[in-house]
């Protein structure tokens, strides 16, 4: 029970610091700070933990490196949410996702569909 309360409090602090860094503090309250801190720590666990070989607060590690990695994930989460606030950022994300999907599906040797053949001839990489 104490670990859960500590997790909520640290998540709120991380979310608050991340919102100060990204200048979104005036638009969100305590609940949003907690969610940003915890979901940001989850994102950090997926993407940043393997790079830095550090656990996050979601794994019960409350050391300084774990707090910094969790803060990095929260900042990344707020940056992504800022991109989705306007239509231009949303379109950029959609285009990048489509290009990644085409790259993953069409640049394997086994892929011989007409769509992938057309994409290979259209895109020179």
Contact 59, 38 (CB under 8 A): no
Please count the structural domains in the chain: 2
Whether residues 65 and 104 fall in one domain: no
* Helix, strand or coil, per DSSP, at residue 53: coil
Tokens 């919102």 correspond to 19
| Residues 100, 104, 105, 106, Cα dihedral to 10° | 90
Mean pLDDT within 95-122: 72
Whether residues 75 and 100 fall in one domain: no
Whether residues 78 and 95 fall in one domain: no
Contact 71, 14 (CB under 8 A): yes
CA dist 69 and 61 (Å) reads 11
CA dist 90 and 112 (Å) reads 31
Q: Which pLDDT score, from 0 to 100, does residue 71 have? A: 92
Whether residues 5 and 22 fall in one domain: yes
Q: Which pLDDT score, from 0 to 100, does residue 110 have? A: 62
pLDDT tens-digit map of 49-104:
888 888 887 777 788 888 899 899 899 888 888 877 777 766 777 777 777 777 77
Q: Which domain holds residue 95?
A: 86-125
Whether residues 75 and 119 fall in one domain: no
pLDDT tens-digit map of 16-35:
999 999 888 777 788 888 88
């Amino acid at each position: 029970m104490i670990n859960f309360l500590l997790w909520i409090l640290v998540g709120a602090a991380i979310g608050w610091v991340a919102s100060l860094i990204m200048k979104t503090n005036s638009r969100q309250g305590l609940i949003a700070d907690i969610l940003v801190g915890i979901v940001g720590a989850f994102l950090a666990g997926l993407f940043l933990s393997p790079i830095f070989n550090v656990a996050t607060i979601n794994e019960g590690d409350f050391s300084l490196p774990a707090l910094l990695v969790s803060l990095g994930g929260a900042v990344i989460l707020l940056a992504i949410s800022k991109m989705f606030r306007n239509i231009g950022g949303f379109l950029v994300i959609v285009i990048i996702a489509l290009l990644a999907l085409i790259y993953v599906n069409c640049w394997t040797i086994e892929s011989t569909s007409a769509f992938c053949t057309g994409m290979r001839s259209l895109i020179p990489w």
